[in-house]
Amino acid sequence: MTSWRSLRWSLTAAIGVIAAMMLFGGGPIGLAQDAKSKGPMEKVFPSSAKCKRCHERAFEEWETSPLSRSIHSPVFRATLDQYLASAVAKDKVLCLRCHAPHVNEYPEQAATFLGEAKSGDPKIDGVGCAQCHLIKQVDRTNLQPSPKYETGGKTLFGPYKDFVQNLAHQSVELALFRKSDLCLNCHLAVPAAAALGKSNDLLGGWETSQAVKSGKECQTCHMPEQVGESANGENKRKVANHSFPGRIGKLRQEAAKLEIATAVKSDQTTVKITVQSLVPHNLPATHPGWAKVVLELAIKGKNLKTVFAEHRVYGRTYATAKSQKTVFDFEAVKVLDDTVLKPEETRVEIFTFPTPQDTKTFDVEASLVYAPVSGPPAFLQRIEAESSAGAQDPAFQPIPITKQTVNVPVTPGG
């Protein structure tokens, strides 16, 4: 008698056959027809929407992630236009080498990639399922690592060995998918800022951090394991989360912590705020050039009225060849100022202000936030025009990381 489990696997296999025919257009099943040459781009790098037919859970997580919007966020489209109009735009698809990395395999279709990205409604993925799961090797010879793709077969790579056999594609366990190297193709350095050399290192000294020494990889935090289905209908097991939490998502609340110490001396008060980065890389990562984390201090006196406010900015200030400040790292040739929080760094900030009057206590409120996008007015206007939300686009809103508030007594004659 056929067991339900065996019947379920039979159904899964049957679905795999149908999915394969739908994904790859019938005929020999595979990501390319000829092992010695690449097939059409849409066959080698099929849309992630097609993967949803068998991998619904992973697709729905990915769909909420920044990766799914890598070539059609309003900020990216506005930045791409800015780059293409600049004097340094010799490589027209430079931005796409990370935002749509399969352009490296199909450079002859550069115009297609650019047209899709600029359309605002692209039919191709930027960073989707195939753009990661076809990577078989990462070359770290240069500052900018490069992926090596398997484009001549029907093999997809992943971190698990207990995959379900199917006819849609072959699955192969690859240790690379548990290593940070997989992520470094796009998250170690920005090719557009090659003139900056080592100053173009987005992550800082991450490899010597305590987190890495303890065995943590990028995936530990940014693709945390959970229990669920990898393919529809299979037994639940450990699977990687594909929403890629970071600046977007609750993970940012674990990025840093604040401690407040206050000394009231008669008419002068000093506040010492200890900012501790809890991440094993720069905070913020320094691409794009407007990436900033801001420590905001507000002193609230009688009736919670703000009587003093000040802030500190953590980020990099870039300059062009003409020594003009710029937020576009593709224009940058040097770093004017660098206040980035280094991996797992603790920074102490001191603020001094007049002690609030006519009140027995006052509040010290310290907040750490990601700053909104910044840049020339025309650039910001373009983002607003590109966004369906206009001026209410999330790019224009600060993103909170953490906040601390303490109530401080005022000692008369102290």
The answer to whether the beta carbons of residues 177 and 223 sit under 8 Å apart is no
What gap in Å lies between CA 100 and CA 77, rounded to an integer? Answer: 13
For the 250-409 domain, the top CATH level (class) is mainly beta
Q: Quick one: pLDDT at residue 18? A: 39
Tokens of 342: 């280094």
Helix (H, G, I), strand (E, B) or coil at 181: helix
* Cβ contacts of 391 within 8 Å, gap of 6 or more: 384
Tokens of 136: 């078989």
The 3-class SS string of 269-331 reads EEEEEEEEECCCCCECCCCCCCCEEEEEEEEECHHHCEEEEEEEEEEEEEECCCCCEECCCCC
What gap in Å lies between CA 323 and CA 263, rounded to an integer? Answer: 41
Neighbours of 141 (CB within 10 A): 7
Q: Quick one: pLDDT at residue 37? A: 61
Residue whose C-alpha is closest to residue 132's, from 288, 242, 286, 247: 242
Buried b (16+ CB within 10 A) or exposed e, 284-299: bbbbbbbbbbbbbbbb
The answer to whether the beta carbons of residues 362 and 404 sit under 8 Å apart is no
Strand partners, 405: 365
Q: Quick one: pLDDT at residue 412? A: 59
What gap in Å lies between CA 159 and CA 174, rounded to an integer? Answer: 6
Q: Is the dihedral angle over the CA atoms 22, 26, 29, 32 positive or is it negative?
A: negative
Q: Quick one: pLDDT at residue 345? A: 98
The answer to whether the beta carbons of residues 232 and 377 sit under 8 Å apart is no
| CA dist 316 → 14, 24, 376 (Å) | 54, 46, 17
Q: Quick one: pLDDT at residue 167? A: 77
Q: Quick one: pLDDT at residue 25? A: 39
Helix (H, G, I), strand (E, B) or coil at 58: helix
Helix (H, G, I), strand (E, B) or coil at 380: helix
* Backbone torsions φ then ψ of 315, nearest 5 degrees: 175, -170
Domain layout of the chain by residue ranges: 4-240, 250-409
What gap in Å lies between CA 129 and CA 165, rounded to an integer? Answer: 18
Q: Quick one: pLDDT at residue 414? A: 44
The structure's pTM equals: 0.87
The answer to whether the beta carbons of residues 321 and 249 sit under 8 Å apart is no
What gap in Å lies between CA 199 and CA 297, rounded to an integer? Answer: 29
Is cis: bond before 284, omega within 30 of 0? yes
What gap in Å lies between CA 175 and CA 160, rounded to an integer? Answer: 9
The answer to whether the beta carbons of residues 140 and 179 sit under 8 Å apart is no
Element (H, E) at 407: strand 399-409
| CA dist 338 → 346, 398, 414 (Å) | 16, 21, 39
Tokens of 93: 């698809």
Q: Quick one: pLDDT at residue 235? A: 86
Q: Quick one: pLDDT at residue 161? A: 85
Tokens of 277: 């980065």
Q: Going residue by residue through the chain (414 aa), what tens digit of pLDDT does each one get?
A: 444 444 344 444 444 433 443 444 333 333 333 434 678 999 999 999 999 999 999 999 999 999 999 999 999 999 999 999 998 899 999 999 999 999 999 999 999 999 999 998 899 999 999 999 999 999 998 888 899 999 988 899 999 887 777 778 889 999 999 999 999 989 998 888 888 887 788 999 999 999 999 999 999 999 999 999 888 888 888 999 999 999 888 899 999 999 999 999 989 999 999 999 999 999 999 899 999 999 999 999 999 999 999 999 999 999 999 999 999 999 999 999 999 999 999 999 999 999 998 899 999 999 999 999 999 999 999 999 999 999 999 999 999 999 999 999 997 544
